Structure formats: C-alpha cells, structure tokens
Amino acid sequence: MLSLRKFIAPVLLAFLLLITSCTQAPSRFEQAQKESTQGTQRNQAVSKEAEEGGSFNKFFPAAGEGYKLVFSQEKKGFAQAKLQQNGKDVAVLTINDIISNSSAKDKFKQSTEKIDGYPVVNQGKTATAVLVADRYQVKVRSTTLTEDERKEWLDKFDLNSLARLK
Amino acid sequence: MSKPIYEIVDELPQNNITIMALRALDFVVPGEWENLVGFENTIREVTGETDEEMIQAIGDRAIWLYNDKSQGYQRALWLYQTVDRTDGALATAALANKVGETIPLFGFLNRITPNPDKAQAIDLCIKLVVEVVAFCQINGLPGDSIGDFVGSLTDNYSKESLMRMAALVCFDGLIPLGPDFLLKVGSILDDLSTSTLEENNTFNRIGEAIPGEDSGSKLGFINDSFASVRGWMSGFVEDRGLDPQVIMSHLHGFIEFSDDKLDYVAGFLDMTTNYYEHTGTQTLARSLIERAIAEI
C-alpha cells in the first residue's frame, strides 16, 4: 500500500504540472524576452557607438505656420518630437541611429522613391521613413496626415547636414 | 530576473479602487485618460497599427529596450511602483463590501490611518520628485533637469501622465490638506529638518533615487522641485475651480462617507489605490512603444 501511495503522488504531481503548463499559452513576445535577457547580446538594445539623441535635435524641421514642435524623448541614438497644431498632436517626428538595430535598414531595399537623394519607404499604415547616409532613420508617423504630407515633413528635416554627422 | 514588461502591462487591472478613483477625476482632465491595459492592446492604441508583423516587431523592440538597464526604463518603473503605499488587504475588503456601486466607508474607519499633515506634505513632495526623476529616466534627460520637466508639464503632459498629476493635486493635496495645500506644504517644507525627513517611510523607500549625496542635498532637491512646480499646480487648481468639496462630490459616486471625514477619505484612497504605479506603467509603456515603432 505504501509503495502505491509513493507511486501515486509523483504521478499526480506530474499530471498537475502538465495541466497548469498547458493552460497558459506562451506569449508571442517570449522569444524577444529570452533573447534580450539570456542571449549573447543580452541587455544591449542600444550600441555604445550610437550618437547622442541630443545631437539630432538641430536637424528637425523648424515649426511655424501654426505648427509647434515639442521635443519629447532624447535617448542615446534616438530623438523624438511631437508636431502639434492648436495644442493637438498631429504627428510624431523621430531620428534614430540604426547602428543599434541594423535590421531596420532592410525595408529600404524595396524603396523606389527618394527625398533629397535618400531612399524612402512607407511602413505599416501610419509611418513613412527615409534612410540617411545608410545610418540614420528619419521617420514621420501620423494617423491623420496623408502619405504625401508625411513626405513633405520628411523633406523639411535638414537631411544633408544629418548625413554629415557621422 | 525581473518580470517581462509585456506581463506587467498585461496584468494591469481593468477595474479596482484605483480605476474607480481615477474615473471620478475625469471631470478634472476631461477625456484625457482611459484605462489602457494589455501590452498588445497598448501597441495597437498607441501606434494605430493593425499589421500583425508590425505589432510583433514593435513589441520585440520595446522588450529589448526595456531590458537594457542602461536605458532607464526599469528604474523609472521601480520608482512608480515603490512610491505608493498600498494596503492590499484593505483594498480587497473594501471591494468585497461594496453595496451596489458604492463602498460604505464607515465600515472601515478603524482600519484607516489618516496621514498627519507633515507626513502628507512629505509624501506629496516625494511623489512629485519621483515624477521628475522618472520623467528624466524615461525621456533621457539628466536626473536633475527640473526645468525641462516643468516645461514639459505645460507642453507635453497628456493622457495618463496628466491624470497622474491631477490625482496628485486632488488625492494627495486638496483632500488631505485642504484648499490652501500649497501654502501648507510650502511652510512645512520651510521648517523641515533632515532628521524628520529621514524618519519618513516614503523617503526611506525612495530616498536613494533622489538626486543628492546626503539627506541635506536631497532635501534641497525636494525643495527645488516643489518650488518649480508650485506655480503650475496653483494654475491647475484655479483654472478648473477645484476645491475639496467639488472633488468629494465626484467621489460620492463610488464611496459613501459623511463630509466631515475628509481625512479618512484621503487615508482610504492613499491605502487602497496605487495610481502612481498604475498610470506610471501606462506612461512608460506608451513611451517605450513610441520609441520602438520609430526604431524598427
């Protein structure tokens, strides 16, 4: 009898573990979590060689004509400003140094258009981006502006000076 | 290993006393805050994207950014989580005793300990300092950039961030300290010694994260933060015609209490809500996702 009890307990426990592990579906983000905490590149989302975000600020468009530019993030390799009109957000403008995540470059291979000589692509439904000097990604994202309007704003960045930054 | 950011955002509650209390403040910042929970859901709302591949890429990048400790996001979240003083057992008991839509406060009076004015003034100031430091961590500014923070309060604070400031003014200022709370806090700070500060529980939990080498210089930073934000707070109260009675009338929607028990209402909210952690997590997730979509 004793041996049976000894046998039943671990079997039941294993069964219970099986059931509980089955009920929780793995998250679609589990792999990124694993790689970013356990892989060889763990805890390194941003390259040490990335430009300081603050050095990008001067290349953003000048506001005016009823628009206001409010800088909202300035991290290593990244700067973001919100474009506002009458106090409402119209678009989010960003520059980032893709030395930290070079896969961002891939999408520009499909580019068929250029602004100031730099390749342009649309990304998803809301974003249009330009790749400057193979290193800096300039992006305009908006749920209200049209694709053409997003391109107009991209054109207002000082892309040529940004290209000389590196 | 710390908990994954997608789990933290997925586990934000859809409804509890914190959410009810914040909803009651909708009249202060109309339409600014909705209780956005769930990691994927937040990605969809913040970016307007529906393409599954994009959503995956945004989420993946956000996770990488969060897990890189040098980027300051984990520190900011720790600050938001640690500054709240929440008694989970009391919150559960209060919800369990809800009659219809309201919680009768008189059943819990013996379990609520109102904060004395001095401790409340220190709590308010430390929450303010947490906001300054977390703002700098999230947005990549040096930790003591009070000026940038104040500028941003006017230009850039909206949604969950603005709601958090509204709750700070109402739940940690006007209700516990009264309509002249800014004057009160000012005079308490003027007389505050470093030894009294060191006795404060909130300071003991958060103190190491406040800029300054010793308690004296940390107290200096607390004073500077309050002095810089005081004008904004006073304008916020004036523009909206806020006073304890107006706020109480909106709280009556979910708590039942008599109007002479302001201290207890303040104590109850303090002990049963974690609005800093809740909205702070939402602020952080939004910022992280905005950066992620820009970088992919």
Per-residue pLDDT of chain A (166 residues; tens, 9 = 90+): 555 566 666 666 566 555 555 556 789 999 999 999 998 878 889 999 999 999 999 999 998 888 999 888 999 999 999 999 988 899 999 999 999 999 999 999 999 999 999 999 999 889 999 999 999 999 999 999 999 999 999 999 999 999 999 6
Q: Which of B50, B53, B64, B145 to mutate to test the interface with A (most CBs of A within 10 A)?
A: B64
Assess if residue A145 is contained within a domain: yes
Listed residue (B217, B152, B215, B225) closest to B186, CA to CA: B225
For residues A122 and A128, is the Cβ–Cβ distance under 8 A? yes
pLDDT of residue B79: 96
Quick one: A63 and A96 in the same domain? yes
In chain A, beta strands by DSSP E: 67-75, 78-85, 88-97, 113-115, 118-123, 127-132, 136-141
A40 in B contact zone (CB under 8 Å):
no
pLDDT of residue B101: 81
Backbone φ and ψ for B276, nearest 5 degrees, come out as -65, -50
Assess if residue A48 is contained within a domain: no
In A9-117, beta strands by DSSP E: 67-75, 78-85, 88-97, 113-115
CATH number, domain with residue A136: 3.40.1000
Quick one: A33 and A83 in the same domain? no
User: Chain B partners of A28 at a C-beta cutoff of 8 Å?
Assistant: 40, 56, 59
Which residues span the domain enclosing A157? Answer: 53-163
SS3 A81: strand
A positions 72-111 inside 8 Å of B (CB): 72-76, 78, 80, 82, 89, 92, 94, 96, 98, 100-101, 103-104
User: Chain B partners of A80 at a C-beta cutoff of 8 Å?
Assistant: 290-291, 294
Number of domains in chain A: 2
Quick one: A25 and A65 in the same domain? no
How far is it, in rounded angstroms, from Cα B32 to Cα B163? Answer: 7
DSSP structure class, residue B27 = T
Q: Rounded to 5 degrees, what angle do the CA atoms A47, B50, A140 make?
A: 50
How far is it, in rounded angstroms, from Cα B264 to Cα B260? Answer: 9
B positions 228-267 inside 8 Å of A (CB): none
A positions 3-22 inside 8 Å of B (CB): none
Residue contact B71–A123, C-beta within 8 A: no
Quick one: A20 and A63 in the same domain? no
Q: Residues B134-150: what's their mean pLDDT?
A: 86
How far is it, in rounded angstroms, from Cα B8 to Cα B37? Answer: 10
How far is it, in rounded angstroms, from Cα A12 to Cα A7? Answer: 9
Q: How many residues does chain B have?
A: 296
Residue contact A37–B68, C-beta within 8 A: no
Cα B258 to chain centroid, rounded: 26
SS3 A48: coil
Listed residue (B157, B36, B31, B47) closest to A143, CA to CA: B47
E strand or H helix at B103, and its extent?
strand B103-104
How far is it, in rounded angstroms, from Cα B178 to Cα A59? Answer: 47
Domains in chain B: boundaries? 5-295
Lowest-confidence pick of A39-43, B148-152, B204-208: A39-43
B positions 150-169 inside 8 Å of A (CB): 152, 155-156, 158
Residue contact B56–A28, C-beta within 8 A: yes
Quick one: A30 and A57 in the same domain? no
Listed residue (B15, B60, B32, B11) closest to B296, CA to CA: B60
For residues A95 and A84, is the Cβ–Cβ distance under 8 A? no
pLDDT of residue B242: 98
ipTM score of the complex?
Answer: 0.85
Assess if residue A31 is contained within a domain: yes
Measured between CA atoms, the residue of chain A closest to residue B47 is A126
pLDDT of residue A138: 98
How far is it, in rounded angstroms, from Cα A91 to Cα B274? Answer: 32
Residue A89, CA distances (Å) to A149, B43, B75 in order: 15, 18, 28
Q: Residues B164-181: what's their mean pLDDT?
A: 97
How far is it, in rounded angstroms, from Cα A104 to Cα B57? Answer: 10
Q: Which of A73, A97, A143 to mutate to test the interface with B (most CBs of B within 10 A)?
A: A73
Q: Identify which has the larger pLDDT, B126 or B92.
A: B126
Residue contact B39–A126, C-beta within 8 A: no
In this predicted structure, the answer to whether residue B144 has a pLDDT above a threshold of 80 is: no
Assess if residue A44 is contained within a domain: no
Lowest-confidence pick of B52-56, B93-97, B253-257, B281-285: B93-97
Quick one: A25 and A64 in the same domain? no
Quick one: A18 and A98 in the same domain? no
Assess if residue A46 is contained within a domain: no
Sign of CA dihedral B78, B124, B237, B233: negative
Q: Residues B33-57: what's their mean pLDDT?
A: 96
A137 in B contact zone (CB under 8 Å):
yes
Q: Which of A31, A35, A36, A94 to mutate to test the interface with B (most CBs of B within 10 A)?
A: A36
Residue range B240-286, pLDDT digits in tens: 999 999 999 999 989 998 877 888 999 999 999 999 999 999 999 99
Q: How many residues does chain A have?
A: 166
User: β-strands A113-115, A88-97: how paired?
Assistant: unpaired
SS3 A84: strand
**What six digits make up the tokens of B29?**
């910042």
Q: Residues B110-137: what's their mean pLDDT?
A: 93
Assess if residue A100 is contained within a domain: yes
Quick one: A12 and A62 in the same domain? no
User: Chain A partners of B137 at a C-beta cutoff of 8 Å?
Assistant: none
pLDDT of residue A41: 79
- Count residue pairs from A and B with Cβ separation < 8 A: 116
In this predicted structure, the answer to whether residue B99 has a pLDDT above a threshold of 90 is: no
pLDDT of residue B86: 80
The residue type found at B36 is L
pLDDT, mean over chain B: 93
pLDDT of residue B251: 94
In this predicted structure, the answer to whether residue B19 has a pLDDT above a threshold of 90 is: yes
How far is it, in rounded angstroms, from Cα B294 to Cα B77? Answer: 22
Q: Identify which has the larger pLDDT, B145 or A82.
A: A82
